[in-house]
Amino acid sequence: MKQVLLVFIGGGLGSVLRYLFGKWFNNIEQAIPYGTMLSNIIGSLLIGVVLGYIVKSTSVSQTQSLLLATGFCGGFTTFSAFAYENQVFLRNGDYSNFIFYTFGSLILGFSAVFLGIYLSKFI
């Protein structure tokens, strides 16, 4: 039960921060939902750092991993919003923003994970 509570707390904090990113960075006048994109990229960087550190360290417990990686990063990033926003681009025939948002998010997200894993070596 403790593990479920840790995921719940981490996920709640991550979700609140993702909501705030959306309010701060998703501008209706802009075609690209930068708040979602930014939360996914930062979340990818964080999970890279956290999991990279966990792999090399014996001082991180499973409970800390559940709180940070599964909970916080899982709540902070959002594949469902990303998928929905892409569906809106396609429905509206906005193929250039669909391509930019999709491939930009994927390339930057994967790069952020790799960068996070690399940076974890210096912690």
Q: pLDDT tens, 69-120? A: 999 999 999 999 999 999 999 999 999 999 999 999 999 999 999 999 999 9
- Average pLDDT in the 36-64 region? 93
Domain boundaries, the chain: 2-24+33-122
Tokens of 96: 């250039």
Phi and psi at residue 7, to the nearest 5°: -65, -40
- pLDDT tens for 9-47 read 999 999 999 999 999 999 878 899 999 999 999 999 999
Is residue 22 within 8 Å of 78, Cβ to Cβ?
no
- Show Cβ contacts of residue 122 under 8 Å, excluding neighbours closer than 6 positions: none
Q: Which of the four pLDDT bands, split at 50, 70 and 90, describes residue 62?
A: confident
CB atoms < 10 A from the CB of 29, how many? 4
